[in-house]
Structure 1
C-alpha cells in the first residue's frame, strides 16, 4: 500500500495539523439553494486519530532535529542524541541547554568538543586494545572522547549492538566506563548498509515509544504508527478504538484488540478474573452440550445460536438452552441475568454459590460470542468459495456478491462488541440504566442471530437473499452504533455506576 493512502508528509508537523483541522471550521453553503451544511461530527464512541508510515515518521524526526540544530548551532547528529535524551521535548531541551550547555551535553552522553570531525584515520604506532592488532596502515576510529579502536573491531561492536541487542539511541563508546554515545554519523562511517538500515528502523521505534501520543500498531508485521491524543487519565471515560491502515482495530489505551464498550480498567480486571483458577476451576468449558429434550450430545459447528437436534428435531438456544420459540419475542431475556429469590445473605455458602452462578452467566455468554466469532470467520472462508460459485450460477458480478463480505465483517465486529458487553454488564450496578443497556444488548444480539442464520443458508439460496441480507446487515450495524453511542455517552457523563473502582 502506498503512502498516498495516508496523509502527506507535511501533515505530520503541528502547524499543518492545525491547518488540516481548520478545513472543516468554515460553514459550507450550496450555491443553488443557499443551504447550510453542518460540520461532520464524530459519534460519542469515536476518537480522532491518524496513521503514519515509516517514511513519514523518519521525516518528522529529521525536521525537528534540523530545527533544533539551527537554534542551538550544533551538528544534526548531536541534536538527534539530545532530542532522544529529552524524549523529543524541544522546548525543555532548548531551555536547559541555554542555561547549562556542558551539563546537558554530558548528561546526554555527548562531548563538549563538537568542533572535532569524526573520521577514519591511520595512526602511526597504534595498537587496538580489543584485537591487539598493531600492523602499519591500520584504519582506526574514535569518537570525540578519543577512545580509539580499529575499524574492524568497531564495526563488529556496532553490528552486535544493533542487530543482536536491538540498541540504537543509547549505544556507548566500546571503552569500559565511557558514556559517550555513538551518533548516526559514526554509524554511516562504520556500519554496512544492512546494519545502518536496521539502526534507522530502531530509531523510529524509539521515537514512537518516547511520545505519549504515538503507538505502533500491534498487528503482526505492521509498520504503521497511530497518533491519538487520548491520555491515560481519560481512559476511565473513553474507550479509544483506532483503526490502522492495515485494517487492524485496537485500543490505543492498552494496545489490546478492540474492546468497546468496556473501559481498559474493566478489561484488565475481567481478564484477570477469567484467568483466576478460583473462578474458572468450577466451570467446565466444553464445545458440546446435551439436547435439553432427548439428552443427545450436540456439537456447535456455526456462529448461529439457533440449534436443532438431529435426533429429536427439538429447537433450542445454545446459550440459555431454552426453547427457541421464545427467542425473538417480548419475553426474550437470554442476555439478562435474573437474580434468584430465596438466597439467604447470611448463608455464606449460598452467597458464594450465587456469586459464582452470576459470574458464570456472564462468562458463558462472553466465551460463546468469542467462539461464535471464530466460527463465523471460518464460515466466511468457506463462503468465499460460495461467492465464486454464486457468481457463476447467477450471472452476478464479483462486485454484486460482495454483500456477503459486508455481512461477514459486520458479524465479526458485532460479535466482538457483544463479547465485551458481558464484561461491561458484569461490573455494572443494578439500576434503570442497566436495564436500558441490557435492552440495547438484547436488540443487537437478536439482530446478529438473524443475520447469522441468513449467512449460513445454502449457496443456492444466497442470490434470492441478497436484498434481505443487505437490509439486515445495515440494521445490525445500526443497532451496534446505538449501543456503543449510548454507552460512550454514559461514560463521558459519568452516569454508569460500577461495582469496582476504575481508577
Structure 2
C-alpha cells in the first residue's frame, strides 16, 4: 500500500509546544457561532503550516473550552432558538433536549405541528403553567404517599409539584427522584407532565435554604460544645481548630521543610501534587453538584456536548475539559477536505488537540496523543497489540511447530514422543527429529547445526520476531513514560523545595519543569515511532526515519538520566546543562515528526496494514 491509500471508517496527548493563534457544519446545522466574538483562543493542531521541506501540513482549528464556556454557548443556543419559536427559554431547552439538540430538526417539527411537538415532550401548548415560586407549598395537613411523612401544625411539610399538574409530594422525595435525571417529569407514574428548569431551580433553592438553616443550627451547637470542652479541659477554644485535617499544602511544605526526615519527605513528595490536583477537581465537581439545579445543568451540558460532532470531552481520567472543532485551515481547504474522517485518513495531518487542563488527545479517534503516526495506523497497532502481544509470547514460549505441517503444538504430557493431530507426523519434542529414527545409537542430546528449509516456518518466525522487536521497544518506552509521568506528579513540590533550599524565585526554576515536560513529550513521540515503523516496508525513507529516531532516543535517555541523577539541591548548578539537553531533545523530536510528515506525503513510502 502506498502512502496515499489509507482508508477506514470509524465514528468518531499533542507533543507540540507552540500554538498559533470559522464554523463548519458537521452533521445537523447548529446556531451560528462567531469565533471573533469569543474570548477563547483559537488554536491549531500543529504549530507550522509546512514541513522543513515546504510540504503542506493539513491542520484543524479548535478551541479548548471550560465548563463555563460551554454553558455560555448552550445558553446562547437556547436563546437563539427561543428567538425563533417565541415559547420561552425553559420550553426551548426542553424541546432541544428532546430533539438531541438538533436545531433544524426541531424547527421543522415545530413549525409543522407545534401542538404535537409540545405533547411529545410533556408540555401543553395552550395551558397556562403555575409560576415556579408558587409550586412550593407548606402544608401542615399533607401526607406524602412516598415516604409516609405527615405534616402537623408544629412541623408542616414542604411540598412541590410540576407547573403542569397538581400531583404534590414532599420536597425531599421529589429531590431524590430528580437527582440523577436529565429528563424531568412528574413523579406520578400515570402523569407525563414535564418539570421545567426554572421549576427545578425553585425546588433546588428551597432545599438549599433548608440545608442552610440546618447547617447554621449545627454549627452553633458544635461551637457551644467546643467552648464547653475548652472550659472543662483548660485550653483555648481557637487552638482546637488550628491542627485540623484541612490545613493547607503550604503548611504541609513548611512543616516538612523543618522536619527534614527523608521518609516523610518522600511520602509528601509523591502525594503533594496528587492531593493538590484531586482537591482542585473535587472542588469544581462539588461546586457543580452543590445544588439539584447545578447538577442538572451539568448533566445537560455533557449531554449537549456528547450529541455534537464538533465537540469532544477530554478522555483523560476525571478531566472536565472540552474541545470544540472550529474549521480546517487553508491547506486542508485547498486539498478538498470537507470532513473529519477524510482529514484523519489522509497523511499530512495529526488532529491532536489540547484541552484547557493541558491534556493532549486526538480529536478524531479520541485516543491519546499518537504523533507522529496517523489514526489508521494507530487503530491497526492497538488492535494488533490487543490480539497478538500476549498470544504471540505464549505461543513462542509454550509451543513448537510440527516439522511437517508447521501446526503449533502444545505439549500436554511428560512423554517426548509427539504425534501431530493435523498430519499424524511423529517426532521428538526435544530435537524435533523423526521418532522412528530414535534408536540406541541416536543422539538427540548432541548439538548439531540444522538448516531449516521450510519457507512457511521461516516466514512465521520472521513475522513474529519483527512484531516482538517493535512491540518490546514500544512497551519499554510506554513503561518509562508512565514512570516519568509519576515523577512529573511530584514536580510542584520538588520545585518548591528547590526554591527554599537555594533561595531562588519561582521563575528561576522553570527551566527544570520545562525540561521534564519536554522529556515526557519526546519519549511519547519516540514510543509511537516504533509502532509506525512496524508497518513501513524497507526503503530509503524508512532508513531516514530510523536515523532520526536513533538521535531522538539518545537525547531522551540523556535528559532522563540527567533528571534522575541530579539531586534537588544541585539543580540550579546544572541549569545550563538542563537547558542544553532539553533544547536538543526538543529539536530532535520536531525533526522526527518533520521527517515522518515528509515521508507520509511521499509515494515512495510503502505501508503495509493487513486488512
TM-score, normalized by the shorter chain, greater than 0.5: yes
The residue aligned with 1:447 is 555
Distance 1:177 1:265, change over 3 A: farther
Q: Does 1:476 align with 2:494?
A: no
Q: CA 1:348/1:179 → structure 2, altered by over 3 Å: closer, same or farther?
A: farther
Shift of 1:414: 0.8
- Report the RMSD for the aligned CA atoms in angstroms: 4.0
2-structure distance, mates of 1:74, 1:378: 53
Write out aligned runs for 1:368-379 (5 A).
368-377=476-485
What pairs up with 1:73-472 in 2 under 5 angstroms? 73-118=86-131, 119-120=134-135, 130=146, 142-143=161-162, 146=165, 148-152=166-170, 155-162=172-179, 166-168=180-182, 170-176=183-189, 178-191=191-204, 192-193=207-208, 194-229=291-326, 231-237=340-346, 238-276=349-387, 277-282=390-395, 347-377=455-485, 398-459=506-567, 465-472=574-581
Distance 1:76 1:464, change over 3 A: closer
The 1-side partners of 2:364 and 2:308 are apart by: 13
Instruction: Find the residue that maps to 1:207 and give its secondary structure.
Output: helix
Show the 5 A alignment for 1:40-51.
42=49, 44=57, 47-51=60-64
Give yes or no for contact 1:45–1:484 (8 Å, CA) kept in 2. no
CA deviation vs aligned residue, 1:324-381 (integer Å, no higher than 9, x gap): xxxxxxxxxxxxxxxxxx986x633322221111111001110111222234445667
User: Hey, what's the Cα distance between the residues in 2 that align with 1:212 and 1:187?
Assistant: 29
Tell me, yes or no, if structure 1 residue 16 matches structure 2 residue 129.
Answer: no
For residue 225 of structure 1, report the CA deviation from its aligned partner.
Answer: 1.6
Aligned residues: 411
Structure 1's 180 and 491: CA in aligned 2 closer, same or farther, altered over 3 A?
farther
Change (3 A) 1:377 1:79: closer
1:107-141 alpha-carbon deviations (Å, 9 max, x no partner): 34433235333542879x99876568898998765
Change beyond 3 A, Cα 1:489–1:145:
farther
Q: Which runs of 5+ in 2 are unaligned?
A: 1-29, 51-56, 209-290, 327-338, 398-450
The CA deviation at 1:411 is 0.9
SS of match in other structure, 2:323: strand
Distance 1:157 1:492 in 2: 60
Please say if residues 111 and 144 of structure 1, whose CA atoms lie closer than 8 Å, have aligned partners that are also in contact.
no
Question: 1:495, CA displacement in angstroms?
Answer: 7.3
Distance in 2 between residues matched to 1:419 and 1:453, nearest whole Å: 17
Task: Name stretches of at least 5 consecutive residues in structure 1 with no aligned partner.
Answer: 1-11, 25-39, 285-341
- Residues in 1 aligned to 2:38 and 2:144: alpha-carbon distance in whole angstroms: 56
Offset from partner CA, 1:218-260 (integer Å, 9 cap, x none): 3344333211247344332343222222222222233332222
Q: TM-score, normalised by structure 2?
A: 0.58
Q: Check 1:265–1:144 CA distance in 2 against 1; reply closer, same or farther (3 A cut).
A: farther
Query: Which has the larger Rg?
Result: 2
Relative distance call for 1:132 and 1:485 in structure 2 (3 A) is: same
SS of 2:353 mapped into structure 1: strand
